[in-house]
Structure 1
Amino acid sequence: MIADVPGARPVAQSRLVFQGGVWDVRSDDVDLGESGVVTRDYIHHTGAVAIMALNDADELYLVRQYRHPVQAETWEPPAGLLDLAGEPPVDAAARELHEEADLRAGRWDTLLDFMTSPGGSSEGIRIFLARDLSEVPEAERHARHEEERDMEGRWVPLAEVLASIWAGEAQSPTIVAGALALDAAKRSGWELLRPADAPWRRPPSLLD
């Protein structure tokens, strides 16, 4: 088994290039020893969670949301930022499932941890598998705003999601990574799943 090797190289200077509402952009002068000092610009991110909500009919609850940087409405699992200091990732996932899908889950497992673009972003994402689902009562549902206001939600068979990925029709990283991991976990008889509070070697967060 291979494993990433954690450990930061010395930073001679770090500059805040841009401070945004969700993440920052930093420029670091990194000392690589004999290879010299190099400048690396990157997005300093809070990290995020995503939820593969699977019902008894082998369907996933997905949302279609406008993503301006790629100028497309992408199909994705419910997801959100880890932007509340000290909030456990599984609690953040439960909050996002409530807000974006009007669902609660009786069982949570860790499905996958990954980094979206380690050469240019510190964003780490944990994808959870949520099962034993129930609907949030109408009076307790979250009022959605901005991009979330008009997003579509739909139950989609896992087989259809996988076919869309292989055809290049669904390209969001959370749906690609999450659906492929879910398919592998299911084929293993769920042996690949980890506990919801499994250790996570998260990249440095904006909130650290």
Structure 2
Amino acid sequence: MGRTIKREADLLITDEKEPVKHRLRERGAAERPVELDNFLNLLARAMLHPSASTMASFVAGKVFQKLERTGTLRDKRLHDTGIPSGLEAALQNAIAARDIYAEVAQSVWRLAESLVWIRGRSGPFASLNFEKAHAHSVIVGPGGLEDRADIRVGLTYMEPYSRFPDHVQRFSRAFLLLSPCELSIAGESWISTGIGGVFAAEAGQSFAMRCTTTPLLAVWCHVEEIGR
């Protein structure tokens, strides 16, 4: 058995210290809005593509299986948090790449104004500007456009020349990159990947990412363990 990772050790869980409560609708769930449904379908195509790593497709597959059931849909933004100033430029880079990743980026832009954007905590080896140079948003999950407790589908944005702090993944998490990025997983050497990279970091592994001349934008997802 692996060691238990505390929630606060995972810097992509930004909403609360206590375990999420069960908030799924049992019956009669509403139909998803077209833009949200389109985003999730495009994301599934990208993350389950044959070129994706086996582990990433395994993690993402469990998320999309749960998405066959709809959570509680939110019809308006909870807080007017604004959109990160460099988000449009980051999305334009992905749109220029064409293919399925351009479609994912376009669908993110259509949702962006409805999302709640927050800044997470800093940590070891983060860039000096990190606290003001990044933002997270949950699209599906606690506080998201589709509020539910069993999964999270989120976005992370970082301005150019930013480094995400080293931290430990509490849950196995799959990522789709919509920008160039450098990664370090489980303490291994940094590797570079471009737009369309799909990878996974397993529960209990250390994780860090950074960008240089272009902003970083990543879509990620994981299955929650309710009550933990």
TM-score bracket, shorter-length normalisation: under 0.3
Structure whose alpha-carbon radius of gyration is higher = 1
Normalized per residue, which structure has more strand? 1
Normalised to the residue count of structure 2, the TM-score between the two structures is 0.24
Higher RCO, 1 vs 2 (CA within 8 Å, ≥6 residues apart): 2
